[in-house]
Structure 1
Amino acid sequence: MKRRDVVKWMGLAAVTSACPTVLSSSNPYFQKPGLQLFTVMKLLDQDFEGTLSAVQGIGYRTVETVGAFGKPASQVKELLQQYNLYTPSQHLMPGTLYQDFSAYNQGKIGWDEIVKRFTYAFDFNRVEYFIEEAIGRAQTLGQDYIVWQLNWLPEYGKKELKQHVKAFNTAGKMCKEAGLQFAFHNHDHEFTSVGDTTYYDLLVQNTAPDLVQLEMDFMWATFAGADPVVYLKRYADRYKMVHLKDLTKDRKITIPGKGTENFQNLLSVSEQVGVQYAFVEFDQPNAPMQEIAEAYNYLTRIKKP
């Protein structure tokens, strides 16, 4: 991240700042989109401070962290405060998993290896350890939510369902005792049918509502053939956060506004059911700063139906 790029994206912010906000919610953190910083992870690894400056320059004020980026949480807190970025939530990064993702981004390891390391990092026998680790980070960063990004593999079944339910309830209890909230984030395979329901529904229905909240990724639900609006209404009291990315007609991930998702309706329903934060996330960025700027520009221009 070169300093001239920071100036470039701050210039774009001057254009977007005059745009109407996406919603009229009384929650100031839901009026404009936030950013899941995984989207700019490569840039953060190259120039952490410069990237935060550019993110802030575009107009983002709310960010969701990826653990503490392999850094001391106190250092991350100082830099977020320096650039006026508020962080209410983190995705879990047990042990050295962040460094593993960095190695993947640098082309040192492949995707299959990342899946193996991800599964190992979320060992069910070590739940108490890595949740305690995350709680410490969250308390330092001043966050309210700890999110388990679900990696439901196609071969999983009832055994893994029970393991996840137990782990989620344990994590939820630990977070509640620490004054925090626990949530899990969906992808696509968990919407696989089992009888007349899905594994996702069973995960929600078998975890304690007072301990386990939800973060809906609209695109991955749509990709799986599920209707995000149906789920927002079905478990209206559980959804606290949503992720914003889009899906093209040929089923490719893209940034909001470039695909088929109806964000006006999705965000309107999210507001109605009490979602607190909406984060832009793009799993496969090519030009991260340009893409998150375009996403911010689009989302701050659209209006409710």
Structure 2
Amino acid sequence: MSYNRRKFMQQAGKAAAASLLLPAWACNNAEKTDAENAEGTEQTTENQAIKGNLGAFGIQLWTLRDVIGEDPKATLKTLAGYGYGQIESFEGQQGMFWGMKPAEFASYVNNDLGMNLIASHCNIMECFEEKAAQAAEAGMKYLICPWVGPQESMDDFKRITERFNECGDICKANGIRFAYHNHDYSFAELDGEIPQDYMMDNTNPDTVDFEMDMYWVIVAGVDPLSYFERYPNRFRLAHVKDRMKEAPAEEKQASCTLGKGSIDYPPLLAAAKTAGISYFILEQERYDGTTPMEGAEDGAAYLAGVQI
């Protein structure tokens, strides 16, 4: 069965909790008035030459899932023009390499476009050894599990944790690393335990890292800073996406164009760097009146100008 992240996300929506508690600091941007936001946009436009200090940043191609399949090379070229320096792929209908051989895809991204192919999300339950070898051939640093879904019991999460360690060993044998990308479900207490904590405490830090999706941590009602403090150097990548202002707490699928939502990212990004995160990757799961490419362009402008 082919990997279908869209189906996964639909299932996640059905499993939404009745209510969520967002940390107060996560809503700082929501206090800005429309006039203040308009003024900020105008100032950004007038000062496009002013660059931020985040450094290189990337994009998860899932953001462009509705358009990239039409012409992968053209889409990637446009992303390079927006200022993205890193690419994180996913396993779509054309595979992680979008119809190209691993080395061909990597050469186009790295050599022709001047970006770096960092990682890919993939289904870890099918042909993982082959995928690890292909990722290594393409020069990726990571293969990442993007989803396991809510489970019936902690025993299920314990089996998943064992699989993560197996995947870490397979990746190590190929000269790359393995990571797990969280959603909100792993922060919900189950059988008296927090699955995210169990996975982090029981995976081998020599072979298994974590990619923090900061949006989903916030949606879970958890402070990302607490995890940076408790698990320094375990999170090596981060997904950066914004949350719609005034979105009801129970609305999980409320991401929006980066920089236009309620999450105050500069202090989060600064803390993430201190905690050992090296890769900051934009991902947008839904669109708020923009096209996928417009969202990607606006997100790149925000990340290029952010001061941390």
Q: Smaller-chain TM-score range?
A: 0.7 to 0.9
What is the Cα deviation at residue 15 of structure 1?
A: 8.8
SS in 1 for 2:65: helix
Equivalent of residue 262 in structure 1, options 254, 261, 264: 264
What is the Cα deviation at residue 36 of structure 1?
A: 0.8
Aligned partner of 1:235: which letter? Answer: Y
Aligned equivalent of 1:55: 79
Question: Which deviates more from structure 2 when the two are superposed, residues 74-83 or residues 238-247?
Answer: 74-83
Aligned equivalent of 2:88: 64
Aligned equivalent of 1:169: 165
2:80–2:113 CA contact under 8 A, matched in 1: yes
Separation of aligned partners in 2, 1:56 and 1:70? 19
2:72–2:98 CA contact under 8 A, matched in 1: no
Question: Which deviates more from structure 2 when the two are superposed, residues 179-188 or residues 195-204?
Answer: 195-204
The answer to whether structure 1 residue 293 and structure 2 residue 297 are counterparts is yes
SS in 2 for 1:279: strand
What is the Cα deviation at residue 17 of structure 1?
A: 6.9
For residues 64-83 of structure 1, the aligned pairs below 5 Å read 64-66=88-90, 67-80=96-109, 81-83=111-113
Aligned partner of 1:84: which letter? Answer: G
Aligned partner of 1:77: which letter? Answer: A
Q: CA RMSD in A?
A: 2.0
The answer to whether structure 1 residue 227 and structure 2 residue 257 are counterparts is no
Aligned equivalent of 1:85: 115
What is the Cα deviation at residue 70 of structure 1?
A: 4.8
Question: Which deviates more from structure 2 when the two are superposed, residues 254-263 or residues 194-203?
Answer: 194-203
Aligned partner of 2:51: which letter? Answer: P
Separation of aligned partners in 2, 1:33 and 1:235? 22
Aligned partner of 2:147: which letter? Answer: L
Aligned length: 250
What is the Cα deviation at residue 269 of structure 1?
A: 0.6
Equivalent of residue 132 in structure 2, options 132, 135, 147: 135
Aligned equivalent of 2:29: none
Separation of aligned partners in 1, 2:263 and 2:134? 34
Separation of aligned partners in 2, 1:15 and 1:136? 47
Higher helix share: 1
Aligned partner of 1:257: which letter? Answer: G
Unmatched segments (≥5 aa) in structure 1: 1-13, 24-30, 95-121
Aligned equivalent of 2:141: 144
Aligned partner of 1:62: which letter? Answer: Q
SS in 2 for 1:300: helix
1:68–1:137 CA contact under 8 A, matched in 2: no
Q: TM-score, normalised by structure 2?
A: 0.76
Distance 1:166 1:15, change over 3 A: farther
Separation of aligned partners in 2, 1:82 and 1:140? 17
Aligned equivalent of 1:39: 63
1:169–1:212 CA contact under 8 A, matched in 2: yes
Separation of aligned partners in 2, 1:69 and 1:91? 13
Aligned equivalent of 2:53: 22
2:242–2:260 CA contact under 8 A, matched in 1: yes
Separation of aligned partners in 2, 1:224 and 1:143? 30
The answer to whether structure 1 residue 194 and structure 2 residue 223 are counterparts is no
SS in 2 for 1:193: coil
Question: Which deviates more from structure 2 when the two are superposed, residues 71-80 or residues 33-42?
Answer: 71-80
**Deviation string for 1:283-302 (max 9, x for gaps)?**
12451111111111112222
SS in 2 for 1:136: helix
**Deviation string for 1:210-235 (max 9, x for gaps)?**
12101000001111111111112211
Aligned partner of 1:245: which letter? Answer: K
The share of aligned pairs that are identical, in percent, is 27
Distance 1:276 1:17, change over 3 A: farther
What is the Cα deviation at residue 91 of structure 1?
A: 0.9
Separation of aligned partners in 1, 2:143 and 2:47? 30
1:16–1:297 CA contact under 8 A, matched in 2: no
Distance 1:281 1:47, change over 3 A: same
Q: TM-score, normalised by structure 1?
A: 0.77
1:21–1:300 CA contact under 8 A, matched in 2: yes
2:282–2:299 CA contact under 8 A, matched in 1: yes
Aligned partner of 2:72: which letter? Answer: F
SS in 1 for 2:107: helix
For residues 108-127 of structure 1, the aligned pairs below 5 Å read 122-123=124-125, 126=126
